[in-house]
Amino acid sequence: MWRRFQAAWVARRAAVDSRAPAPTGGTSRAPEGQILYAIGDIHGEVGLLRSLLSEIVTDWALHGRAAGVTPILVYIGDYIDRGPDSRGVIDLLLSNPLPEFRSHWLLGNHEAALLDFLQDPVGGAAWLDFGGLATLLSYGVRPLFSGSAAERARALRDDLAARLPPEHLAFLGSLERMVVYGDYAFVHAGVRPGRALADQALEDMLWIRAPFLESPRRHEKTVVHGHTIVPAVDRRPNRIAIDTGAYTSGLLSAIALQGGDVRVLTARRAVGGAKTADELPSAVI
């Protein structure tokens, strides 16, 4: 099944013109009559997500609902791992909590790693060491302490596959890799500078860091991305970083793009709130 999902991602192209020239300057703008919202990496923080969705609804009510402005909501990926309730996050997303919004769910590297693990538990076992254990626990899968590493990985995969609801697997397989609205492109990690948006490699869109983060080059669109943690939403001339490390900082962030304006919306975990993966047992594989 994962191979079919992977083939679908490769076939899915960003809705952009690869011949479009890179911007030469000026303020990026959202399309007229729309507000574009983007939520950073959630990582199992379902309580923060609920709070942030409430903030987004309030923002829409203040800035466009009465005027008939269409709200667009992009989730930037990494819904699972590290935080306390990956399953709860997927359940909430599947409930379509903001039905009046046009929503897009992007693929993050952590969702891709989970799907790799389901396909090849031995080759994909590294996922357990960078947050996957928290996801297993949220689905009721417990660590194993006997057998070889390969045997444990296969047993964990089999247990997860048995417990993962079909609608969750279908959701993970349907995630988009990039969406474009107006002067903005939304993607999980970033893009390869100098390459047309329509020609970006999936590996870069899920994993890229330094070549993208350190480049001052203007892209075809201003890139809104997560993946790399920043202490607060970081707006640059060529990109906007919105992953504020919810699972470790307790801060989940979003932006609202309207005309040429950028508004920052946040939800913060109360002191003494839910434990993160840093406080959960280490993976045993």
pLDDT digits (tens, 9 = 90+) for 13-67: 333 333 334 443 469 999 999 999 999 999 999 999 999 999 999 999 999 999 9
28 contacts 221 by C-beta, under 8 angstroms: yes
| pLDDT by 10s per residue, the chain, length 285 | 444 434 443 333 333 333 334 443 469 999 999 999 999 999 999 999 999 999 999 999 999 999 999 999 999 999 999 999 999 999 999 999 999 999 999 999 999 999 999 999 999 999 999 999 999 999 999 988 889 999 999 999 999 999 999 999 999 999 999 999 999 999 999 999 999 999 999 999 999 999 999 999 999 999 999 999 999 999 999 999 999 999 999 999 999 999 999 999 999 998 765 544 433 332 222
Q: Is residue 284 part of a domain?
A: no
Please indicate, yes or no, if residue 16 is contained in any of the structural domains.
no
151: domain range?
2-8+32-279
Q: Which residues contact 41 (CB under 8 A, 6 or more apart)?
A: 76, 77, 78, 108, 226, 227, 229, 243, 245, 246
Angle of CA points 182, 180, 110, to nearest 5° = 145
Residue 258 lies in a domain: yes
Q: Kindly state whether residue 24 falls inside one of the protein's structural domains.
A: no
- Classify residue 272: in a domain, yes or no: yes
* Residue 20, both tokens: 């479009």
The pLDDT tens digits of the residues spanning 263-275 come to 999 999 987 655 4
For the chain, the domain total comes to 1
Domain containing residue 201: CATH number = 3.60.21.10
Q: Let me know if residue 27 belongs to a domain.
A: no
Single pTM value for the model: 0.88
Residue 34 in contact with residue 73, Cβ under 8 Å? no
Which of these, 89, 79, 78, 104, lies nearest to 189 by C-alpha position? 78
Tell me if 25 is assigned to some domain: no
Distance of alpha carbon 144 from the chain centroid: 29
In-domain check, residue 19 = no
In terms of C-beta density within 10 A (0-12 exposed, 13-18 middle, 19 or more buried), how is residue 119 classed?
A: middle
